Amino acid sequence: MSVYPSANPIAPTSRWMAGARARESERGDRLFYDPLAAALAGPEGFAWLERMESSAGSGGGPGLYAVIRTRFFDDFLLDACRNSGVCQVVLAAAGMDTRAFRLDWPSQTQVYEMDLPEVLEAKDEVVEEAGAKPNCERRTVGVDLQQEAWPEALLATGYRPERPSVWVIEGLLFYLTRAAVHGLLQKVSALTAIGSLLGLDVMNRGLFFSPLAWPQQAALAQHGAPGLFGTDDPERLMAHHGWEADVTQPGEEGANYGRWPRPILPREVPGLPRGFLVKARRS
């Protein structure tokens, strides 16, 4: 498998996430199974995962967060398609995600994977070598989500904004500036019909100020991918762009799966690094 070159320092984080999914897939009590993850991670992804885990110390680390997040949004997407009649699924910053291949989608489901062209090409190389076939109608859209023209590229592949859709923006907002986050959400809102669904994850501001998170922040910065955006009020962020949000912290009910090792303190307790898993409906 080739290692994709990219001027975008966020792109290689997709291999690290694939490494976390590959390791989870080896467990007897796994929360999902991703047979392509190890090949998609490659040595680079596993090495990065080890460095990030060592910087996190004990207590689960970013690998467990990625696993909880994956299962949470797996369930969210399948529920939207099975119980809400949604056929259009958009995975923004899809990276090395393989949901098109490993989830049991209802018939007529169309999955749009958006990411940098070099990322999608590297993934397709692994998929083709493995002979994997999608369980849906899979369409790839090679774009930079920080550029203005990506909505036109999505529309050109057949996406219908007047129809209900479900979106997931996973592992991206943390690396964007505040202006870029708002620009991205504004475009998503313009492309979604009333009643459409959106899932995303976001970190809080405490992550930037807590000494507990400094080693991981330093490790990301060394890779050229420092964290830039966080919010303590994801509900307000989503409402600003026309979405009604339900927010869950990893480890809380609905995002625990018997695996989260630490007690979850209420959001009112200040100064702690937190992650938020958001499910929202277009209002």
Q: Per-residue confidence at 157, pLDDT binned at 50, 70, 90?
A: very high
Q: Where are the domains of the chain?
A: 62-214+226-261+268-282
DSSP letter for 170, please. Answer: -
Q: 193-248: per-residue pLDDT in tens?
A: 999 999 999 999 988 888 877 777 777 777 777 889 999 999 999 999 999 999 99
CA distance 101 to 97: 9
pLDDT score for 113: 98
Side-chain-facing half-sphere of 260: CA atoms under 13 Å: 20
* Strands laid side by side in the 110-115 sheet: 137-142, 110-115, 88-92, 165-169, 197-203, 275-282, 243-248
Residue 133 CA, chain-centre distance (Å), reads: 22
Does the reported pTM lie above 0.85?
A: yes
CATH architecture of the domain formed by 62-214+226-261+268-282: 3-Layer(aba) Sandwich (3.40)
pLDDT score for 230: 96
SS3 111: strand
CA distance 282 to 188: 10
Q: 76-122: per-residue pLDDT in tens?
A: 999 999 999 999 999 999 999 999 999 999 999 999 999 999 999 99
CA diameter of the chain: 49
